[in-house]
Structure 1
Amino acid sequence: MQKPNVILCMCDQLRAHSVGCYGDRVVQTPRIDRLAEQGARFETAVTNNPVCTPARSILLSGQYSRTCTGMVGNMHADRPSRSRSRLVSPTLAEMFRQNGYRTALIGKWHIDPDPALIGFDSAVYPRVEHRYFGQTYFDDPAKEGFVVGEFGPEFEAKRLSAFLSGCGNEPFFLFYSISQPHPPIGPGNLPEKYDRMYAPDKVPIRPNAPLRSDRSQDREWFKIYTIWDYWWRVRWRKQEPKPGDALPPDFDLRHLTAWYYGAVTCVDDQVGRLMDMLREHGLIENTLVVFTSDHGDNLGSHGRFNKDVLLEESIRIPLIFWWPARIKAQVNTRQIAQLIDVMPTLLDLCALPAPDGRDGRSLAALLDGGRAELPCNVAYIETGSYQVGIRTLTHLYGMGFDPQSREITNDRLCFFDLKQDPLQQHNLAATAGQAQMDDELRQRLRQWHEHTPWLNTNLFSCGPGWK
Structure 2
Amino acid sequence: MMSRIASLGAMLLLSTLNAPAAACKNVLFIMADDLRPELGCYGAAAITPNLDALARRGVLFQRAYCQQAVCNPSRSSMLTGLRPGTLGLYVNGTHFRELKPDVETLPGWMKAHGYTTRCVGKIFHNWHTKEHGDPRAWSAPEFLHYANHGDDTPQVSGPLPPNLATTTGTMHLYGKEPICECRDVPDEAYYDGRVAAEAVRVLGEVKDRPFFLAVGFWKPHAPFNAPKKYWDLYQRDRLPALNPARPLAAPEIAFHQSTEVLGPPEKQPVPTREQVAEMRHGYYAGISYMDAQLGKVTAALAKHGLLDSTLIVFWGDHGYHIGEHGLWGKTTNFELDARVPLILVPPKARHAGVQTLALVEMVDLFPTITALCDIPPAPGLDGISLVPLLDNPGSTLKEAAYTQHPRPAYADRTKRGRPEVMGFSVRTNSLRYTEWRDYDSGRVTATELYDHSRQEAELDNSIATPAAPAALEHARNLLHRQFPPASQ
Q: Do the structures match in fold with TM over 0.5? A: yes
* Partner residue of 1:345 out of 365, 368, 382: 368
Q: Which residue of 2 aligns with 1:448?
A: 482
| Cα distance change, pair 182–168 in 1 and its aligned pair in 2 (3 A) | closer
Distance 2:89 2:27 in 1: 29
2:51 corresponds to 1:32: yes
Deviations 1:258-316 (A, max 9, x none): 11110110111111111111122332221111111001111111112211112111111
Measure how far apart 1:437 and its partner are.
2.0
Q: Which residue of 2 aligns with 1:457?
A: none
Asked if 2 retains the 8 angstrom alpha-carbon contact of 1:40 and 1:327, the reply is no
Deviations 1:301-340 (A, max 9, x none): 1112211112111111111011242452143433112111
2:212 corresponds to 1:173: yes
2:42 corresponds to 1:22: yes
| Cα distance change, pair 183–4 in 1 and its aligned pair in 2 (3 A) | same
Q: Which residue of 2 aligns with 1:458?
A: none
Structure 1 unaligned spans of 5+: 137-148, 211-219, 453-467
| Cα distance change, pair 425–41 in 1 and its aligned pair in 2 (3 A) | same
Measure how far apart 1:389 and its partner are.
0.6
Q: Output aligned runs, 1:224-239, within 5 Å.
A: 225=261, 231=263
* Partner residue of 1:260 out of 283, 289, 294: 283
2:302 corresponds to 1:279: yes
Letter in structure 1 aligned against 2:364:
D
Measure how far apart 1:433 and its partner are.
3.8
Asked if 1 retains the 8 angstrom alpha-carbon contact of 2:117 and 2:139, the reply is yes
Asked if 1 retains the 8 angstrom alpha-carbon contact of 2:358 and 2:397, the reply is no
The secondary structure found in structure 2 opposite 1:270 is: helix
2:74 corresponds to 1:55: yes
2:324 corresponds to 1:301: yes
Q: Which residue of 1 aligns with 2:160?
A: none
Letter in structure 1 aligned against 2:137:
G
Distance 2:313 2:289 in 1: 18
Q: Which residue of 1 aligns with 2:237?
A: 201
Q: Which residue of 1 aligns with 2:432?
A: 396
TM-score by length of 1: 0.79
Q: Output aligned runs, 1:37-186, within 5 Å.
A: 37-68=56-87, 70-75=88-93, 84-86=98-100, 88-108=102-122, 109-110=124-125, 113-122=131-140, 123-131=142-150, 133-134=152-153, 150-185=189-224
Letter in structure 1 aligned against 2:203:
L
Letter in structure 2 aligned against 1:72:
Y
Distance 2:112 2:464 in 1: 52
Asked if 2 retains the 8 angstrom alpha-carbon contact of 1:208 and 1:301, the reply is yes
Measure how far apart 1:116 and its partner are.
4.1
Distance 1:431 1:174 in 2: 49
The secondary structure found in structure 2 opposite 1:292 is: strand
RMSD between aligned residues: 2.9
Distance 1:106 1:359 in 2: 27
Asked if 1 retains the 8 angstrom alpha-carbon contact of 2:68 and 2:403, the reply is yes
Asked if 1 retains the 8 angstrom alpha-carbon contact of 2:400 and 2:478, the reply is no
| Cα distance change, pair 329–431 in 1 and its aligned pair in 2 (3 A) | same
Asked if 2 retains the 8 angstrom alpha-carbon contact of 1:342 and 1:360, the reply is yes
Measure how far apart 1:199 and its partner are.
2.2
| Cα distance change, pair 425–277 in 1 and its aligned pair in 2 (3 A) | same
Distance 2:99 2:110 in 1: 21
Asked if 1 retains the 8 angstrom alpha-carbon contact of 2:192 and 2:290, the reply is no
Percent of aligned pairs with the same amino acid: 27
The secondary structure found in structure 2 opposite 1:125 is: coil
Distance 1:312 1:364 in 2: 25
Letter in structure 2 aligned against 1:74:
N
Distance 2:272 2:23 in 1: 60
Measure how far apart 1:365 and its partner are.
1.4
TM-score by length of 2: 0.76
Q: Which residue of 1 aligns with 2:339?
A: 316
The secondary structure found in structure 1 opposite 2:197 is: helix
Q: Which residue of 2 aligns with 1:427?
A: 461
Asked if 1 retains the 8 angstrom alpha-carbon contact of 2:365 and 2:385, the reply is yes
Distance 2:136 2:146 in 1: 18
Letter in structure 2 aligned against 1:43:
Q
Measure how far apart 1:208 and its partner are.
5.6
Measure how far apart 1:124 and its partner are.
1.3
Asked if 2 retains the 8 angstrom alpha-carbon contact of 1:399 and 1:408, the reply is no
Distance 1:451 1:62 in 2: 24
| Cα distance change, pair 14–248 in 1 and its aligned pair in 2 (3 A) | closer
Asked if 2 retains the 8 angstrom alpha-carbon contact of 1:30 and 1:268, the reply is yes
Deviations 1:199-224 (A, max 9, x none): 221101244658xxxxxxxxx96x95
| Cα distance change, pair 251–373 in 1 and its aligned pair in 2 (3 A) | same
* Partner residue of 1:8 out of 15, 29, 36: 29
* Partner residue of 2:473 out of 429, 434, 439: 439
Asked if 2 retains the 8 angstrom alpha-carbon contact of 1:40 and 1:321, the reply is yes
Moved more, 276-285 or 38-47: 276-285
Distance 2:75 2:461 in 1: 30
Asked if 1 retains the 8 angstrom alpha-carbon contact of 2:24 and 2:347, the reply is no
Deviations 1:358-400 (A, max 9, x none): 111100111123x633444211111133211111111110011
| Cα distance change, pair 307–2 in 1 and its aligned pair in 2 (3 A) | closer
* Partner residue of 2:394 out of 372, 396, 404: 372
Asked if 2 retains the 8 angstrom alpha-carbon contact of 1:326 and 1:368, the reply is no
Distance 2:81 2:388 in 1: 17
Letter in structure 2 aligned against 1:434:
A
Distance 2:272 2:332 in 1: 29
The secondary structure found in structure 2 opposite 1:131 is: helix
Asked if 1 retains the 8 angstrom alpha-carbon contact of 2:133 and 2:145, the reply is no
Structure 2 unaligned spans of 5+: 1-21, 156-187, 247-256, 408-421
Distance 1:248 1:417 in 2: 31
| Cα distance change, pair 251–281 in 1 and its aligned pair in 2 (3 A) | same
Number of matched residues? 405
| Cα distance change, pair 46–250 in 1 and its aligned pair in 2 (3 A) | closer
Measure how far apart 1:85 and its partner are.
3.3
Distance 2:294 2:337 in 1: 22
Letter in structure 2 aligned against 1:383:
H
